[in-house]
Amino acid sequence: MGSLFDFMLPELKSPMTGASTDALMAFIHIVSFIILAGVSIAMIYFAIKYKRKSENDKTPLITHNNTLEITWSVIPLLLVFVVFGWGYKGWLNLKTVPDNAYEIQVSAYKWGWTFKYETGAQVGNEVHVPAGRPVKLVMQSQDVLHSFFVPDYRIKQDVLPNRYTYVWFQAEEAGESQVFCTEYCGTSHSDMLAKVIVHTEEDFKAWLDEQGTGGGGTPVERGEQLATLQGCVSCHSVDGSDGIGPTWQGLWEQERNFEDGSSEVADQNYIRESILDPGSKIVEGYQNQMVSYEGRLSDDDISDIIEYIKTLEE
Ligand code: CUA
């Protein structure tokens, strides 16, 4: 069904994220054309059939018609439900990252993109990825709102300051795709472009080796250093033992229960908030004695500490 509308869209290069979107778009177009044709034909037919023929021609006084009214309400309602259900399913798929995804950290700024790899390598305005494997981008902005848009993959996600957002795709073949910033972000918004460069699995490994570690070690190594330098580990153990604050061991993606009875999964946003505003959520059985690290740790520092915490499995 998608092929009918190919002329309107760039070639789909990430079917895992885009196939459902394309199919839904084709469905909406087909239904819209059928309705447009039906309404137009009926309108022309009635205009001719009921044209006023003489002075005495009077309009019959019809007040309502239940059958007709129910029909033209229920059919569109059902269509809306179909489109909603279909769209919701597609959205869930876009929000559910496959487990074996290759993760890359993305930092957006006025006006460009930085991509950071687990090896410590860092590249600007070019994100290199392996083909045939899901890739997860964990994104953050250093200033204003931006938005990461790859038409070839049918993915688009806002990138915010002070908050992590993510997006995933799987490019099936080696090649290149254009990235646009699609949130107006100032003078050079239209120049805020990047490229996704898809390599075969082997070429990608070779490319990554070539990049080295970016000089300062891997994000995990930097995170571990920071945790010591900044004194995090004097209150938070990394081996599960008790301390003034909750241990970091097993913290990643753990369900946290708070004093006020609420709970939350410890993801990037939770850990970031805990570092910058420690008093906002207090884990059951603890008292908050931590001060904010706002201004002491940069966004990059926080991301590196999170990468380190992720490695502290139970
Ligand atoms: Cu960044 Cu528009």
Query: DSSP states of 293-309 as a string?
Result: -BTTB-HHHHHHHHHHH
Q: Which residues pair with 265 in a beta bridge?
A: 255
Tell how far the Cα of 176 is from the centroid of ligand 1, in angstroms.
21
Answer yes or no: pTM beyond 0.90.
no
Residue given tokens 């083909």 in the structure block: 131
Tell how far the Cα of 145 is from the centroid of ligand 1, in angstroms.
7
- Reply yes or no on whether the pLDDT at 205 is more than 90: yes
Pull the structure tokens for residue 136.
């997860």
State how far the Cα of 228 lies from the Cα of 233, in Å rounded to an integer. Answer: 6
Q: At what angle do helices 299-310 and 268-276 cross, to 10 degrees?
A: 120
Average pLDDT over residues 229-239: 84
Q: Which of 51-60, 130-139, 222-231, 301-310 has the highest mean pLDDT?
A: 130-139
ipTM of the complex: 0.98
The distance of Cα 150 from the centroid of its chain, to the nearest Å, equals 11
Which residue has its alpha carbon closest to ligand 1 atom 1?
146
Average pLDDT over residues 88-115: 93
| Model confidence band, residue 4 (pLDDT cutoffs 50, 70, 90) | low
- Reply yes or no on whether the pLDDT at 3 is more than 70: no
Pull the structure tokens for residue 33.
């054309």
Q: CB of 183 closer than 6 A to ligand 1?
A: yes
Query: 3-state class of 201 per DSSP?
Result: helix
